[in-house]
Amino acid sequence: MRNLTISKKLLGGFISVLILLAIIMTINLVQLISLNHTYTELIEDRTKKMLQVKDMVIAVKSEQIAVRVYAMLGDETSLKGITSSHETYMTISKQLTAAVKTADMIEMLKQSDAAENEYFELAKEVSELKKQNKEQEFTALLSNQGRAIIARFEKILTDMEAYQQSLLDRSQAQASKQVEDVISLVIILGIITLILGLAIAILIGRLISKPITELAKAAEKIATGDLTGKPIMMKSNDELGMLSSSFNMMANNLRALIVRVGSSSEQVAASSEELSASAEQTSLVTEQIAITIQEVATGVDRQVTLAHEGFQTIHEMAIGFQQIAANTQSVSAKAAEASEKAISGNESIQTAVAQMNAINDTVSGLAEVISELDGKSNQINNIVGVITELSAQTNLLSLNAAIEAARLRGCRHRGTEAVPAIF
């Protein structure tokens, strides 16, 4: 049964039930044939024999009537009736003798035949006496010997009828008993068939439903998230066995998939934490870069302002130098007058000296401003270095910082180149 498919199991169950039904039908058919034979024998044999015995009685009665009529009337027709009735009786007797099988019936037929033959001889003797007109003799013969033969003959026929009736009653009882036996056998076989069919149905049902129930329970556990169940072991090689193998494979693959998903989830969580940390670090770095850029922009604006102020100071110095040159030329032209105006020239010289001292002070202040600008440039270079290091993490901010630093360097170079141009 384990190596049979479900269709073969079902087919085997149906075939088993059909075989049981065929056996029951065969047994019932045999019993019905036997019962039919019994009733056929009862109807055709027993009843026929009863009718034959009655026909024999009728033949004897007809013969007796024919003898009496002939004795009274001397009718030739009655004489022929005697012979005809005798022949009818003997024909029926031979048929009945050939049909009966019991010794009692055969013995009674012999006695009946003997009585019939004796009465037929009596009828012949009566006919002869009638022909001789010996009425008293044949009347006495019929009254004495004839009545005795008829009485004995009727007793034999009555016994035959009673015997055949007893056989008929016995056959009817046997037939009734056989009918009851057939009914009992049919009921018993029906119950046995019902039990066997029910057993086969239960067996096949268990063979099919038990694995399905196990698969349903295992699937319910998996549906609730319990993947710790043991593999379903089925020893059958039918569709349910293949289904259980596929189910076990599915459960194993599902366990492996969940393990991989768990591992991937842990990796994703770790990566998320790393990304969160990197995002926080990037945010901090971005804030620092923004603050630094703001400070750089503030410093650059200040340097530009200082450079502009220095440029104005240098421009004013240049104008002063030009005035000094003009004054010097005026002093040279008026050297002759200076001698004349010594006192006035001395005062002018003192004034020029005072102006030169002022110019010297201004130039010293300008040198300090230029020194301060150089220090700011160094700070800008340091800040640019920091921005360059931060650009490895944030390319866009690094690029903007590099562009801003380049712009600042360009302004600083233009500022430093303006000083020699003025001088």
Identity of the residue numbered 167: L
Q: Report the Cα 9 to chain-centroid distance in Å.
A: 19
User: Higher-confidence residue: 199 or 277?
Assistant: 199
129: number of CA atoms within 13 Å, CB side? 19
Model confidence at 418: pLDDT above 70: no
Take residue 345 and report the two structure tokens written for it: 């020239």
Outline where 341-394 has alpha helix (H).
342-390
> What pLDDT does 335 receive?
46
> What pLDDT does 420 receive?
43
Cα distance between residue 384 and residue 400, in whole Å = 11
CATH 1.20.1440.210 fits 6-216, yes or no: yes
User: Helix (H, G, I), strand (E, B), or coil: what is residue 362?
Assistant: helix
Provide mean pLDDT across the span 315-332. 59
Cα distance between residue 123 and residue 150, in whole Å = 12
DSSP 4: S
Q: Report the Cα 299 to chain-centroid distance in Å.
A: 79
pLDDT in tens, 127-176: 888 788 887 787 888 788 878 888 888 888 888 888 878 877 887 788 78
Indicate the pTM of the whole model: 0.41
pLDDT in tens, 44-89: 666 777 788 888 888 888 888 888 888 788 778 888 888 898 899 8
> What pLDDT does 42 receive?
66
* 225 torsion bin: left (phi>0), alpha (psi -120 to 50), beta (else): left
Average pLDDT, the chain: 73
CA angle 279, 285, 288 (to 5 degrees): 145
Provide mean pLDDT across the span 293-312. 61
Domains of the chain, by residue range, sit at 6-216, 276-422
Take residue 373 and report the two structure tokens written for it: 């600008």
